[in-house]
Structure 1
Amino acid sequence: MNITGRKSRAILAGCVLLMSVGCTTLYRNHGYAPTDDQLAEVLVGVDTRDTVSDVVGPPTAGGVTNGGGFFYVQSRFRFLGPLEPKEIEREVVAISFDEEGVVSNVERFGLENGNVVALSRRVTQDNVRDTTFIRQLFGSIGNFNAGDFLGDG
């Protein structure tokens, strides 16, 4: 076998390897949402903003609504070769506080068939406040600029 044939095969093998790696699906997680075990430690009617921060960590967003609730947002993105990244999952945990700063609601929201659904809820009252903010968090799924996401924008 001559050297030219070996080089050609090595180049061909390298190209096949690069093409297969370039088409591999990668996943990246962004943000943070507490686990169910961590949320089980948050007691409705007992814990305060300070104790919640100690137990589950500081919120992704806080104080942006009338009640000054804590919001934890976690997203999962899929990268497929040269295609634009796509957000495939988003979860929001909302912890609401009453006027004295004591936990009144602990809720976990997700998406099902494109609709916002409550995955778990521990509340002291029937009406769920601030659903418009949560809908805004979910409403932006897939609506982002890849340059902004990658830090180029």
Structure 2
Amino acid sequence: MKKIFRTALLAAVIGGIAACTPTIDNRGNLPHPEDLAKITAGKTSREEVQALLGTPSSVMPYGDESWQYISAVFETTAFFKPELKDRKVVSVNFDMAGIVKTVTYKELQDGKEIVLVDRETPTAGKELGILEQLMGNIGRFSKPESGGSLGGMGRN
């Protein structure tokens, strides 16, 4: 009996430790440095970039077109919120002719924190209570007086 208890206790301890082991999750598409070295500003076309690097994570079509290749590493422990450990972004900017203008690299420390505003936009009108909502439609809908259709949706 003692041996079974010790085995069960050991299994519970090992299971508890295993549950707290962080899980590393790689997300995104970061091109290999060898492929990035093949891109030359002023010479490489949009089609050549796609053949070398694949489909971008994000495309920004305004002004001079920009393709973003984004990769992130998250660490998750048990049931806690995933924590961002690393992020890399490669931006390939094209001129109007579709030729590479610049290639830039950014990492996690280059990012900026965005602070969200908690305010609510006021709307016009009256906020109805639950009783007003429930009782407000009483008497609004009635049967047609003559043989007409309901809301123009019936047969002619």
Amino acid at match of 1:74: S
Deviations 1:31-77 (A, max 9, x none): 01112211101111111111000011111111343212111110100
- Normalised by the length of structure 2, the TM-score is 0.68
Partner of 1:129: none
**Equivalent in 10, 13, 32 of residue 10 of structure 2:** 13
Deviation at 1:110, TM superposition (A): 0.8
Distance 2:114 2:86 in 1: 12
Partner secondary structure for residue 75 of structure 1:
strand
Q: Give 2:41's aligned residue.
A: 44
Instruction: Provide the aligned C-alpha RMSD in A.
Output: 1.8
Question: How far apart, CA to CA, are the structure 1 residues paired with 2:20 and 2:63?
Answer: 46
Counterpart code for 2:53: V
Greater per-residue helix proportion:
1
Instruction: Report which of the two structures shows the higher radius of gyration computed on alpha carbons.
Output: 2
- Between the aligned partners of 1:95 and 1:33, the Cα distance in structure 2 is 12
Separation (CA, whole Å) in 1 of partners of 2:104 and 2:32: 12
Q: Provide the residue aligned with 2:94 in structure 1.
A: 97
Task: Report the 3-state secondary structure (helix = DSSP H, G, I; strand = E; otherwise coil) of the residue aligned with 2:108.
Answer: strand
Does 1:109 find its partner at 2:109? no
Paired residue type of 2:77: L
How many residue pairs align between the two structures?
A: 115
Q: Of 52, 55, 63, which residue of structure 2 is paired with 1:58? A: 55
The offset of 1:89, in angstroms, is: 1.3
Does the Cα contact within 8 Å between 1:70 and 1:96 map onto a contact in 2?
A: yes
The answer to whether the Cα contact below 8 Å between 1:22 and 1:82 also exists between their aligned partners in 2 is: no
Question: Are 2:30 and 1:33 aligned?
Answer: yes
| Unmatched 5+ stretches in structure 2 | 116-156
Letter paired with 1:45: G
| Inter-CA distance 91–139: structure 2 relative to 1 (3 Å threshold) | farther
Deviates more, 1:39-48 or 1:65-74: 65-74
Identity score, percent: 23
In structure 1, distance between residues paired with 2:9 and 2:32: 47
The one-letter amino acid paired with 2:94 is F
| Residue 75 of structure 2 corresponds to residue 88 of structure 1 | no
